[in-house]
Structure 1
């Protein structure tokens, strides 16, 4: 019963965001303000809180590797599988069909369903995912499809600076790396810091779900629907493969493998919507695809969180 109510609460927040935009309470671009708050305040706070409140095992670095491979390998697979598609469609599938919305969706959803203790495994998966999410997917897609007209004209040094800036300008990615350094150094998060950031971390779930709803915009073009369907199909295939790899291959405790398997069903990343907007002018389609994938992911995650514990 509690799980059903928690799922309903998250869905209600998504619907509130969408309804608020439709009736004029929120503007069409107001979600960008929430993006700024989430990525620079509440999500970093949630990462700190997760590391501070849970024990860590260095074997969890296997989860980082899985998170990276789950985002990297599908991008190459889509590149070859969609080789006959127009660049506009191929690029959309590569950018939106890979990487995971972990920090602002899977993390709050899974910790709502399974408790704060599940957060560490989710965050570890996101560290690997973030290497592709923050810059890697865009860089590889640009290299393979030449989407950026300025890329070919750049020197090697300019390209390196662009890539580096995409990484270090991401506050969540910087926070992940900081937490890893503290973990390796054996330094604990001070109690006053935990107390200070807890209210911000607790706001991450609600703001993230509201933002997902605010980004929804229904496309009218048939080709757009087809590209969205392809992306959702790719994502489901990748999620199943990554979840099976987590469940059967990770040399970790069953509870950790379960959390990682659930995380693999995270929806489209917010970075993907930004990249699709900047390089392909398909931001609205990416935003709608994100919302649809988020609703699908929420149902699947809730079901897995109810079923998988019975298998442990």
Structure 2
């Protein structure tokens, strides 16, 4: 019953925010304010809280590797499989069908269902995912499809600076790096710091769900709907394969493997919507695809959180 109520609460946050947008309580671009708050305040705070409240095992670095490969390999597979598709469709599938929305979706959802102790495995997966999510997917797609005309005119130095800027300008990615350094140095986070950031970390779940609802915009073109269906199909295939790899291959405790397997069903990354808008002018379609995948992911992850613990 508690799981059903929690799932309903998260769905209510998504649908309530969308209803508010339709009734013009929120503006069409108000979600950008939530993006700023989430990526610069609540998500970094949630990362700190997760690392501070749980013990860590250096073998968890296997989870980072899985997160990276789960974002990299599908992009290359889609590039090869969609070679006959128009470049716009091919680029959309590569950008939107690969990386995972962990920090602002999977992390709050899984910690809501399984408790804060599950957060470390989720965060470790996101560190690997973030290498592709923050810049890697955009860089590779540009290199393979030449979507960004400005990219071709850049010097090697300018390209390197652009790539580096995409990484270090991401506050969550910076926070992940800091937490990993502290972990390797075996430095504990002071309790006053944890107390200070806890209210911000606790706000991450609601703001993340509300942002998803505010980004929803139903596409009108049939071609857009087909591209969205293709993306959702790719994501389902990637999620199943990554979850099976986590369950059967990771040399970690069963509880950790379970959490990583559930994390693999995270929805489309918010960075993907930004990149699709920036290079293809398809930000609204990417936003709607994100919302649809988020609702599907929420239901699937809730079901797995109820079912998988019984298999351990």
Aligned counterpart, 1:230: 230
Aligned counterpart, 1:198: 198
Aligned counterpart, 2:44: 44
Runs (4+) of structure 1 exceeding 2 A deviation are none
TM-score of the aligned structures, taking structure 2 as reference length: 1.00
Measure the CA separation in 2 of the matches of 1:86 and 1:300: 32
TM-score of the aligned structures, taking structure 1 as reference length: 1.00
Any idea what the Cα deviations from partners look like across 1:134-192, whole Å, max 9, x if unmatched? 00000000000000101111111000000000000000000000000000001000000
Aligned counterpart, 1:278: 278
Aligned counterpart, 1:100: 100
Measure the CA separation in 1 of the matches of 2:152 and 2:24: 43
Measure the CA separation in 1 of the matches of 2:21 and 2:79: 35
Measure the CA separation in 1 of the matches of 2:113 and 2:99: 22
Aligned counterpart, 1:5: 5
Any idea what the Cα deviations from partners look like across 1:208-255, whole Å, max 9, x if unmatched? 000000000000100000000000000000000000000000000000
Any idea what the Cα deviations from partners look like across 1:95-116, whole Å, max 9, x if unmatched? 0000000000000000000000
Aligned counterpart, 1:291: 291
- 1:1-312 matches, within 5 Å, as 1-312=1-312
Measure the CA separation in 1 of the matches of 2:292 and 2:153: 37
**Aligned positions, number:** 312
Measure the CA separation in 2 of the matches of 1:177 and 1:72: 20
Q: CA RMSD in A?
A: 0.3
Measure the CA separation in 2 of the matches of 1:278 and 1:151: 13
Measure the CA separation in 2 of the matches of 1:199 and 1:155: 45
1:47 Cα offset (Å): 0.1
Measure the CA separation in 2 of the matches of 1:211 and 1:205: 10
Measure the CA separation in 1 of the matches of 2:31 and 2:55: 35
